[in-house]
Chains A and B, each alone.
Chain A
């Protein structure tokens, strides 16, 4: 079992928790060392996995999933701990480990109760990694829940502002989503094999059996898509996002917007579309409308917010809407764009939230009306914020551009008027995004200094620089050399596209 590299993605966070458990609450250095060592190992592991994966693919191994393994967990219900990755999961694992790594440095000086904070943080990452390596929908769901619960405490205890309310709201809405999801998953399980066959939770087997009849598919598709859509901040189930993000501590915002919201998008295509292709074809239009609204609506809402984190949260609604929107276009290019957008948005929002945390830590306000001219005072953070902003508004050379363009060009492949209208509406978001990003940059970083006390503030420390540089390098890397990622993703979409085309 431990010979499988994927298991280590779950084992290392568990070791991390054990290590943290041994530390005393007061010895900050010990806690930090455990976190740094483990998150570096995770990062290294994910890079190694990626190289290994690419070399296997290059060697012509074209199985749907590589590094598969399956261990019986609960025989009466045929639940396995089944793992396996394709190109998309590998990229998602890399994204997660990068963000965990950056998040560790971004919460270098967390207080109070640093040990407990990192314990919950590690549990959260266990859930995230576990979700991406699973190919058994039950274990997937379990890890999903593992990732959700720590969020409540992380926001409720270490948050700012109306933290109890926000933590409760976030948890309840996401739990509501997972209630739908559970229904959908159970439905899939009970129809997972032809009459009399052995029921299974394994994604590959279910898609292979293709035994769910169309009427059931429709119902289950709605359940699963809405279930994951809540986490993907789909309109009108997005309202946890502004409050939740605004109150969460830096690293949690980073991990949540950066990775956890991606769980939604990932689940949508991995389960809702892959396993229920017929319903996806028939019902996609409903969700295209909703996600199309998300894109424009989120962008417009972001234009008038005054709290930095709210702006970013609404911008996430818009960008994540783009992810789901592209997935629903059901063609390779658009779906590839969706994955690129997940990566891009993950890195970029993580960077945004990290920077906002750093700025907030200095100025003790997130209200853009009370700040101004910070570029002069903290040039490093200012430049990073601008880079994040440019990535968000789709500047070529940074990841956002590649993702958005792939989405637009992919979505435009559907030649009917309905799709066209929504694609063009979605493209309008690039202008609105520019408006709210430049508005923030103009008010926050440029212009005269608003508050004389801010003149005494300092620029970034080494650990803050490390966190931001890691993310910026990834953003620019994707933006400048997108094609290898693009090819990896496109290859991974083959079975899903085949499933969709098989039912038309």
Chain B
């Protein structure tokens, strides 16, 4: 493949960033918006060309005997640490990176278009587009990384773009602290990632994904059974690398930044905190998947973390008032779903059957469908917020009559996420659940329960916003559907969410490139999961469709639980305590005190002692000749006496 297109895919967004970032001040808003949208549109077209060429051209670089290959379009040296440990910047095409190219550019383009309407009156419009371009560049660089260090580089860059975009409304203290929190929490996770890379690269002496994943057994061998605290060092490395993913993908206990990240503009939440950046953790595990497979402990760890997070986030989502927070927790829960799916795609024959690829394929499939319908839901939420100027569902209700487009598209999104046939979420969730059941019935059952909760809280949200009771404020300020820049993306995404489940995904993305034919196991998985989802929806309908006092009764039945769920089980308070009270209050303060009052005081003490001593002996240098003579006289006598004594 010609390297021009891949280079352009990366070059256009970063150029746009520089142009809009440096020249944006002097530009009109319209020009900046058009530039941003056109730039991203071009990138999207190019990305589609590259991805579709990869999937369909049948080129020998991409597919050999029906097996999809990993192909490095280019890979140039960026920094050579040692002779062998060299950081390259490159462009890797393989099933998942091509998939991500499509996902990122599609959602990003939709968001660019949508923002034109949504952000129209905000100051700093040009800056906003610049940051969006920066983010798109970093995310594209992340997914096409040929080596883990390149991934780390872009991993940091997406972190910063996320920081800048969350803090876009920088005059609001809440936005500032949310952005700070997001950055620091993910930074902390990246520390684990970095240490993981340090360990891994020390033993394998390479950063390259292809080299590591094509021969995971060799990786295991290079570690040579080194252990640390009971676990093998490779397990440690893989778990630490996954820590990075936990941070970015907001897994328990590093999830706390994502709900706060909703302080950013809503289109940004759709792009970064729902569809693309937060799935980077899933992508990372998928990228290193063969290596994870040879150390089953780390994959099991992924599974446990995912399962716990999925349940936790689903429960919390049931008790939120802010619609964006509901969606945020829903995102956390869905990403955890993908994690569990990957964790269950364990490469060992179970009862003689090789189930390895299913969970991987399903996880990626869900990543794809989830990106579409979650972006749709967020953009829908944006349209709602745009209409009523509040994030809370208490300011909404009965909106279906006022905002028909938003209503229908939102409903499609809800049905898709709840996993109702024939919407996209049904197919991907079905495959994931099948993979989990194959691994162990517990994972399947557990996650099916989470799926039921998902259906419940999504429809709770849907009914509270669009049904329930009409809000009296509408009389003063009548809500209406959004302008075309915002509606068009909604409709496109709704159409995609409606039908993208029918794609025979296994033909495109599998862990080893060998196509896999998806077949829906109706009896064992699909029908039970449909029943669970419909039960969830039915419960939500009963409770929230018409205004009634059932929700209040449920709340009062066990108020502490509701309060705890509403306060997200006090994770933020715990973190606040650790960071502010312990780290700032005790560690930092005491070190600063120690520095001033012990170290510095010691240095000052040297000076003070010298000064005091010189003051003390200063009297001897009185300048009075008589005193000197006296000293001299006695000195002479003493010397004489000594001399005399010595002589006799």
Query: Do A and B form a real pair?
Result: yes
Contacts from A to B (Cβ < 8 Å): 168-169, 172-173, 235-236, 238-240, 297, 300-301, 303-305, 332-333, 373, 375-376, 379, 390, 393-397, 401-402, 405-406, 408-410, 412-413, 415, 423-424, 427-428, 430-431, 434-435, 438-439, 442, 445-448, 482-483, 486-487, 490
**Cα–Cα distance between A402 and B152 once the two chains are bound (Å):** 12
Instruction: Decide yes or no: A300 and B591 within 8 Å by CB, A173-B603, A236-B599 being known contacts.
Output: yes
User: A388: shortest Cβ distance to chain B, in Å?
Assistant: 14
CA distance A302 to B571 in the complex (A): 27
Q: Which residues of A contact B170 (CB under 8 A)?
A: 375, 445-447
Kindly report which residue of chain A lies nearest to residue B187, judged by CB atoms. Answer: A434
Instruction: Return A417 CB to nearest CB of chain B, in Å.
Output: 9
CA distance A401 to B184 in the complex (A): 16
- The reply on B534 being an interface residue by CB < 8 A is no
Check: B82 CB closer than 8 A to any chain A CB.
Answer: yes
Do A402 and B79 have beta carbons less than 8 Å apart?
yes
Using an 8 Å CB-CB cutoff, how does the interface string of B77-88 with A read, 1 for contact, 0 for none?
A: 111111001000
Smallest CB gap from B174: residue in A: A447
Binary interface encoding of chain B residues 131-164 relative to chain A, with 1 for a CB under 8 A from any of its CBs, else 0? 0000000000000000001000110110010010
A172 and B607 contact, Cβ closer than 8 Å, known pairs A300-B591, A438-B183, A483-B78: yes
Q: Is A428 within 8 A of B191, CB to CB? A: yes
Residue of chain B at shortest CB distance from A376: B171
Nearest CB in chain A to that of B172: its residue: A447
Is there contact, CB below 8 Å, between B77 and A333? Answer: no
Please indicate the chain A residues that have their CB under 8 angstroms from the CB of B173 in the complex: 447-448
Min CB distance A293 to B, Å, is: 10
Tell me whether A413 and B202 are in contact in the complex, defined as CB-CB below 8 angstroms, given that A301-B592, A396-B153, A482-B78 are known contacts.
yes
Q: What CA separation (Å) do A375 and B172 show in the bound complex? A: 13
Whether the Cβ atoms of B194 and A430 lie closer than 8 Å is: yes
B184 and A390 contacting across the interface, CB-CB below 8 Å: no
Q: Known contacts being A301-B595, A408-B194, is A438 close to B78, with CB within 8 Å?
A: no
Interface residues of B in 15-49 (CB under 8 A from A): 25
List, in ascending order, chain A residues with CB within 8 A of B82's CB. Answer: 332-333, 410, 413
Contacts of A487 in B (CB 8 A): 80
Give 18 A-B pairs besides A169-B603, A430-B191 with Cβ atoms closer than 8 angstroms.
Answer: A169-B604, A169-B607, A173-B603, A235-B599, A300-B591, A333-B85, A379-B25, A390-B160, A393-B187, A397-B157, A406-B79, A410-B82, A431-B184, A434-B183, A448-B173, A483-B77, A483-B79, A486-B79
A180 to chain B, nearest CB (A): 14
Distance of B27 from chain A, by nearest CB (Å): 15
Q: Within 8 Å CB of A379, what residues of B?
A: 25
Instruction: Check B589–A304 contact: CB distance below 8 A.
Output: yes
B442 at the interface (CB under 8 A from A): no
- B167 an interface residue at 8 Å Cβ cutoff? yes
A427 neighbours in B (Cβ, 8 Å):
191, 194-195, 198
When C-beta atoms are compared, the residue in chain B nearest to A448 turns out to be: B171
Main DSSP-derived SS at the B contact region: helix
Asked if B632 CB lies within 8 Å of chain A CBs, one says no
A445 CA / B180 CA spacing, docked (Å): 13
Q: Counting CB contacts under 8 A, is B584 at the interface? A: yes
Given contacts A428-B191, A448-B171, contact A301 B81 (CB under 8 A): no
* B160 contacts A395, C-beta separation under 8 Å: yes
> Does B592 lie within 8 Å of A304, measured CB to CB?
yes
Q: 6 closest pairs, A vs B, by CB?
A: A396-B153, A446-B170, A239-B600, A303-B588, A446-B176, A304-B588
What is the CA–CA distance of A297 and B591 in the complex, to the nearest angstrom? 7
Contacts of A300 in B (CB 8 A): 587-588, 591-592
Q: How far is the CA of A424 from the CA of B157 in the complex (A)?
A: 22
- CB neighbours (8 Å) of A434 from chain B are 183-184, 187
Number of interface residues of B (CB under 8 A): 49
Q: Are B81 and A373 in contact (CB under 8 A)?
A: no
* Residues 247-266 of B at the A interface (beta carbon under 8 Å): none
User: How many angstroms from the CA of A439 to the CA of B176 in the assembled complex?
Assistant: 10
Nearest Cβ on chain B to A361's Cβ, whole angstroms: 23
B198 in contact with A409 (CB, 8 Å)? yes
**In the bound complex, what is the Cα–Cα distance between A172 and B607 (angstroms)?**
9
A482 to B177, CA, bound (A): 33
Which residue of chain B has its CB nearest to the CB of A394? B156
Between-chain CB contacts (< 8 Å), 14 pairs: A304-B584, A332-B82, A333-B82, A395-B157, A396-B153, A396-B154, A405-B81, A406-B81, A412-B199, A424-B195, A427-B195, A430-B187, A447-B176, A483-B79
B570 within 8 A of A: no
B177 touches A442 (CB 8 A): yes
Q: Which residue of A lies closest to B175 (CB)?
A: A446
Whether B188 contacts A431 by the Cβ 8 Å rule is yes
Task: Answer whether residue B541 sits at the interface, using C-beta atoms and an 8 A cutoff.
Answer: no
B residues 332-367 near A (Cβ < 8 Å) are none
Minimum CB–CB distance from A195 to chain B (whole Å) comes to 39
Closest chain B residue to A235 by CB distance?
A: B599
Q: How far is the CA of A154 from the CA of B250 in the complex (A)?
A: 51
> Are A401 and B156 interface neighbours, CB within 8 A?
yes
CB distance from B12 to the nearest CB of A (A): 17
Q: Are A303 and B79 in contact (CB under 8 A)?
A: no
CB B310 to nearest CB in A, in angstroms, measures 27
A412 touches B591 (CB 8 A): no
Residues of chain A with a CB closer than 8 A to B607's CB = 168-169, 172
- Chain A residues lying within 8 Å of B160, measured Cβ to Cβ, are 390, 395
B514 CB to nearest chain A CB (Å): 35
- Most chain A CB within 10 A, of B25, B191, B595, is at B595
A484 to B336, CA, bound (A): 43
CA distance A405 to B149 in the complex (A): 10
Q: Check if B79 sits within 8 Å of A446, measured CB to CB.
A: no
Q: What is the CA–CA distance of A413 and B199 in the complex, to the nearest angstrom?
A: 10
Closest B residue, CB atoms, query A373: B171
* Neighbouring A residues of B80 by C-beta, 8 Å: 483, 486-487, 490
A308 smallest CB distance to B (angstroms): 15
Give bound CA distance, A135 to B516, whole Å: 68
Chain B: minimal CB distance from A335 (Å): 12
A173 nearest CB neighbor, chain B only: B603
- State the CA gap A274–B287 with chains docked (Å): 44
- Shortest CB distance B596–A (Å): 8
Q: How far is the CB of B614 from chain A (nearest CB, A)?
A: 14
B-chain residues with CB within 8 Å of residue A486 when the two chains form the complex:
79-80
Interface centre among B79, B153, B157 (most CB of A within 10 A): B79
Residues of A within 8 A of B602 (CB): 236
Minimal Cβ-Cβ distance residue in A for B186: A434
B507 within 8 A of A: no
Enumerate chain A residues within 8 angstroms of B183, measured Cβ to Cβ.
434, 438
Q: Complex: how many Å from CA A297 to CA B599? A: 12
Q: Which residues of A contact B69 (CB under 8 A)?
A: none
Cα separation A168 to B170 with both chains bound (whole Å): 42
In Å, the complex CA distance between A428 and B194 comes to: 10
Contacts of B154 in A (CB 8 A): 396
The answer for the CA separation of A379 and B184 in the assembled complex, in Å, is: 24
Answer yes or no: B201 CB below 8 A from chain A CBs. Answer: yes
A423→B160 CA distance, assembly (Å) = 25
Contact B198 A408 (CB under 8 A): yes
Docked CA distance A373–B175 (Å): 13
The answer for the CA separation of A494 and B176 in the assembled complex, in Å, is 47
**In the assembled complex, which residues on chain A have CB atoms less than 8 Å from the CB atom of B595?**
239, 297, 301
A404, chain B: closest CB distance, angstroms: 9
- Considering the chains assembled together, what is the distance between the CA atoms of A490 and B82 in angstroms? 9
Closest chain B residue, CB of each to CB of A340: B79
Cβ 8 A contact of A442, one of B171, B176, B188, B194: B176
B149 cross-chain contacts in A, Cβ below 8 A: 405
B591: chain A residues at CB < 8 Å are: 297, 300-301
Residues from chain A with Cβ under 8 Å of B25 in the complex: 379
Q: Across the two chains, which residue of chain B brings its CB closest to A410? A: B81
What are the residues of chain B within 8 A of A431 when measuring CB–CB?
Answer: 184, 187-188, 191
Inside 8 A of A373's CB, which chain B residues have their CB? 171
Chain A residues within 8 Å of B153, by CB: 396-397, 401
Residues 95-134 of B, flagged 1 when their CB comes within 8 A of A and 0 if not, give 0000000000000000000000000000000000000000
Q: Which residues of A contact B85 (CB under 8 A)?
A: 333, 409
